[in-house]
Amino acid sequence: MDFAPSAVADDYTKRMRAFLDDRILPAEAAYLEFRAARRGTPSEWELPPVVEELKAEARAQGLWNLFLPSISGLSNLEYAAIAEISGWSPVIAPEAINCQAPDTGNMELLHLLGSEEQKQRWLAPLLDGEIRSAFAMTEPDVASSDATNIATRIERDGDEYVITGRKWWTSGAMDPRCAVLIVMGKTDPAALPSEAAGLKDRPEAENLVVLYAALAETSKEQVLAEFGGRQFSDFKPALADLAVEKLAPIAGEMRRISADQAYVDSVLRGGTARAAVLAESTMRDVRAIVGLLDS
């Protein structure tokens, strides 16, 4: 693989380096002084004003949201060099260019999977650097480096979800601008049953077991014999892998056919002709009912 920076990456990294040297590093003293003066007080987590000044300058220079390829146009490889430079001033530089953890990961998640409403409410102000977010995974009572240990429960109650659990080490949660938390928890903590009778009143489990059985061309009983007693965190990845494996030939064929424009046109022409024959008698009736004269 060629790791040489592209012309675009070269331009960005040069400008980022200059911004770091000329504007960010000289601001560190004022930043630290502001923080130190408030430590242990109710305003401990207030943002030093110099960061907002730097944010405005960075945005004006196009050094903004560079972490998100669909906005910046940079590849992850091109962004990596910029992230490395911002690491020279870890408390100021990432936020100055709106590429700070944990907001970057949260913005990526909202960008890829958020509903339109969630994007309007949370993603847009995060991309504008107006609010901050946090990611609550780690818990005091379990080894949280393995996310399958997470004990927080998320249960449906009518139109709401009730979240029960304890979190700590949530970076940014104390920032007065923090307006949204993405919380990791389990919605389906019960293991899969070993017998089909155990699927009664478990539509969420039955649905996935039936899907697995159909894709694997086997029975529900066979699936439960293999996965009974195991958590969804084991079963869902196995189902996803199987679905990808089984659907890959269909997706490949779709791509092959879609690339052949002449073939697609001929299928559409054939379909139009066949539909016209089928629709003709209905259209004649419609014209008669509406009172149109046949030409």
Q: Which residues bind ligand FAD (CB under 6 A)?
A: 102, 135-138, 143-146, 169-171
65 vs 96: CA distance, rounded Å: 10
Judged by CB, which is closer to ligand FAD: 185, or 193?
185
At closest approach, how far in Å is the CB of 185 from ligand FAD?
12
At closest approach, how far in Å is the CB of 22 from ligand FAD?
28
At closest approach, how far in Å is the CB of 201 from ligand FAD?
33
228 vs 195: CA distance, rounded Å: 7
At closest approach, how far in Å is the CB of 137 from ligand FAD?
3
At closest approach, how far in Å is the CB of 104 from ligand FAD?
12
Instruction: Calculate ∠ Cα 101-114-52, nearest 5°.
Output: 40
Whether cis (ω within 30° of 0) applies to the bond prior to 5 is no
145 vs 158: CA distance, rounded Å: 32
Judged by CB, which is closer to ligand FAD: 177, or 202?
177
Judged by CB, which is closer to ligand FAD: 170, or 233?
170
Q: What is the DSSP letter of 65?
A: S
Judged by CB, which is closer to ligand FAD: 13, or 106?
106
119 vs 128: CA distance, rounded Å: 12
119 vs 109: CA distance, rounded Å: 10
